[in-house]
Structure 1
Amino acid sequence: MDWGKGILLTIIAFVGFILTLVVISVRQDDIHLVTENYYEKEIKYQDQIDRETSAAGLDREVLHFDSQSKSMVLDLPVGAKGNLQLFRPSDARLDQEISLDIQEEGKTTVSLDKLKSGYWKVQLTWTENGTDFYQEKKISL
């Protein structure tokens, strides 16, 4: 084989390789954004900072993970309303959202044993006495 055929075969192999990579990347359908409305959330980020600061000023741990029972324990007062988001960074299809309306005194327990094992972010946003709060925990099931 002479030089011309070797160069031609190398170029054809390279083009075939690149085309294979393009086809694989176009067919990939499991790419998930962190959030669908990223830009809207970015604009309202100062509100998020204020909620986190309010939660840091509380004298109690509101969001606690109990690894023995695979549950989240929420220490919220009666009348608090909020939202608990179970966020799976690796697969947005597994994300869940639970609305909260605390009607009873004591700690509220949310079972997580039906979730797929792995890394999760648990995000709690709630309103208590007219003030908004936010707290987040990173857990592994």
Structure 2
Amino acid sequence: MKLNWGTSIVIAFVLFIGFIMFMVVQMLSNKELEYDLVVESYYQKELTFQEDLDSAQNAADLENQVNIAMISEGLQIIFPSDFDYSEIEGEVFLYRPSDKALDFTVQLQLENSEYVLPRSLMEAGKWEVNLKFNHKGEDYFIQQKIQI
């Protein structure tokens, strides 16, 4: 059987479409590639966006920065020594891009200038830590990515 150029083009198109369909099925069925890109309350989040930017700038302008790090016990947050820990109110929101069911918020309850969130509350993987707190009427917002 002899192939002419028209048949070859049709075969090439069919193979290309088959390859694309195979890749689409692979991408849609792979659980590791599922990411929630938009928060549920998108419009409410948009309304507070400028406030978050101002709070993030306040945090960036601090002389002594808030330190967020993973240690063996869990997520450690150390506030600057010039902050009175009894006047700090806020929350830590942990966002898991790959599974929104794992997202959670913890209210800060400080006994000293250091706060440790137990590792047992977090599964291994990539997390985004959003720390919002208020100290003496000034709002602060810190966002950091961590790997457990």
Q: Does 1:86 align with 2:94?
A: yes
Q: CA distance change for structure 1 residues 53 and 90 in 2, over 3 Å: closer, same or farther?
A: same
By percentage of residues, which structure has more helix? 2
Shift of 1:33: 4.5
RMSD (Å), alpha carbons: 3.2
Note the 1:1-141 alignment, pairs <5 A. 32-75=36-79, 77-102=85-110, 104-141=111-148
The one-letter amino acid of 2:56's match is: E
Secondary structure of the residue aligned to 1:78 is helix
Cα separation, partners in 2 of 1:117 and 1:64, compared to 1, 3 Å: same
TM-score, reference length from structure 1 = 0.72
Distance 1:31 1:57 in 2: 32
Query: 1:28-55, CA deviations, whole angstroms, 9 ceiling, x for partnerless residues?
Result: xx77353111122123211111000101
- Determine what percentage of the aligned residue pairs are the same residue: 28
Question: Secondary structure of 2:86's match?
Answer: coil
Whole-Å separation in 1 of the counterparts to 2:48 and 2:143: 17
Structure 2 letter corresponding to 1:59: E
One-letter identity of the residue aligned with 2:141: Y
Task: Determine if contact 1:86/1:122 at 8 Å carries over to the other structure.
Answer: yes
Tell me how far apart the structure 2 counterparts of residues 120 and 67 of structure 1 sit (CA, whole Å). 15
Q: Which letter does structure 2 place at the counterpart of 1:113? A: S
Structure 1 residues 38-82: Cα deviation after superposition (integer angstroms, max 9, x where no partner): 122123211111000101111223242133333222317222110
Runs of 5+ in structure 1 lacking a partner?
A: 1-29
Instruction: Give structure 2 stretches of 5+ with no counterpart.
Output: 1-33
Q: Are the counterparts in 2 of residues 71 and 113 from structure 1 also a CA contact under 8 Å?
A: no
State the number of aligned residues. Answer: 140
Residue type at the aligned position of 1:136: Q
Q: Which moved more, 1:45-54 or 1:104-113?
A: 104-113
